[in-house]
Structure formats: C-alpha cells, structure tokens
A and B are shown apart, each in its own frame.
Chain A
Amino acid sequence: AQSVTQPDIHITVSEGASLELRCNYSYGATPYLFWYVQSPGQGLQLLLKYFSGDTLVQGIKGFEAEFKRSQSSFNLRKPSVHWSDAAEYFCAVGAYMDSNYQLIWGAGTKLIIKP
C-alpha cells in the first residue's frame, strides 16, 4: 500500500544551523513528490515539488530536496535556518489509488528553532 513516513515527529535546530528533514515513501511507480509547510493554524504552503528530471530540486525560502529512487526518499534541506522557519513540515506523494489521483501525506515534522 502507498504510504509516506516522516520518521521525526520533532526536530530542534539552532538558528543558523543546517537542517535536514527526512521523508520516505512507498509507491510502486515513479511518484510525484511534494514538501509543504504549515504555520500554526494556517493552511499549507507548497515549498517544492519533484515530477521528473533533475533529482535535486530548489524551492522557495531557500529550501531544496533530493529525490533518491534507490532509497525511496525525498529529504528536505536548508543550509541555514531562520527563526521564521519554525513550523510543521509535511511530505506528500501524488499517487493513483483506484485510478484516482490523490495526495498521500506523512504525519509531519515539527521544526523548533533554538535562538
């Protein structure tokens, strides 16, 4: 069955430090992959997406992610985090289930920034 796993419920990072959020998926075909960010009480903002081509994709706010087919992973990275990056981050896979397309979501990783 298709699924998305974000192994880290919380991650704490010092401001200015680098960040990597993990995402692993289970899907039989080549997936569409997404990272979204959600600030408290808000909707979801698309950070970046991977459909095909270059496996390193750049997104907004200085984020990037790398698709590794052999590891079924799509980890999100940022070289230097800012206090405003504190939020919850969701990885999602666009997949066909029963011939219908839908997004399958991870449970999210909450990013906490230490001053």
Chain B
Amino acid sequence: ETGVTQSPTHLIKTRGQQVTLRCSSQSGHNTVSWYQQALGQGPQFIFQYYREEENGRGNFPPRFSGLQFPNYSSELNVNALELDDSALYLCASSIDKTYEQYFGPGTRLTVT
C-alpha cells in the first residue's frame, strides 16, 4: 500500500510568481486536505477536497486554490506569492471526510 506522496520536496520561488504543489493520496482514500505549517507553528487548514469538490476552507485568501482529480490526487495552487507564504505545505488523505488523516512528507516552499 502506497502512502501519501507530495512533489516537489523543495521549491524556491520569487515574490509575485505562481506555484503548483502536488499530492497523491493513499490508496482507497477519497478525501484530501491541505495545510500550511509556518516555522515553529502548528498546521493551519487551507482547504479540503472530497470526491473532486471543495468541502471546506480555512482562513486563506482566494489566491490559494486547489483541484482534486478523478483518481483523488490533488493540486494546491498559489498565485501572486508573498514572502509570508514561505512554509511547509502538507497534504493529508483520509477514507472519508471525518476519518483520521494520513500525511505526506510535505513540500517546503521558500519565497524570496
């Protein structure tokens, strides 16, 4: 059974650019949640996708957007990058919306 995978591992972008992060969910899981974890803090919920539809969103601006594909993999897109977007972005998958979530290793985004 393959766990949750994320790509890329690390990414460096310039302020104002756009970025796409990818996540493959664990086999059999239909729900993907995205989190932002700034250095020294706990994760913050960005949004969740359930069966290809957004199923909840945290306190993040619209320049954070996402997609979920028929195979339940997911993308997180961030437009107009700001310095404060520098963080570890974590993807988690679960069997359904309310089950325990299993996390990928994360993508470390640095915005300069």
Contacts and interface: CB of A to CB of B under 8 A. Distances in A.
Interface of A: 4, 32, 34, 36, 41-46, 49, 90, 92, 94, 97-98, 100-108
A92 to B, nearest CB: 8
A107 B4 CA distance: 23
**The 3 A-B residue pairs with the shortest CB-CB distance in the complex, in nearest-first order:** A100-B56, A105-B42, A43-B103
Contacts of B45: 102-104
Interface of B: 4, 6, 33, 35, 41-45, 48, 55-58, 90, 92, 97-98, 100-106, 108
Nearest to A34: B100
A103 to B, nearest CB: 6
B43 A94 contact: no
A106 B44 CA distance: 10
Nearest to B54: A100
Contacts of B43: 44, 90, 103, 105
A102 B48 contact: yes
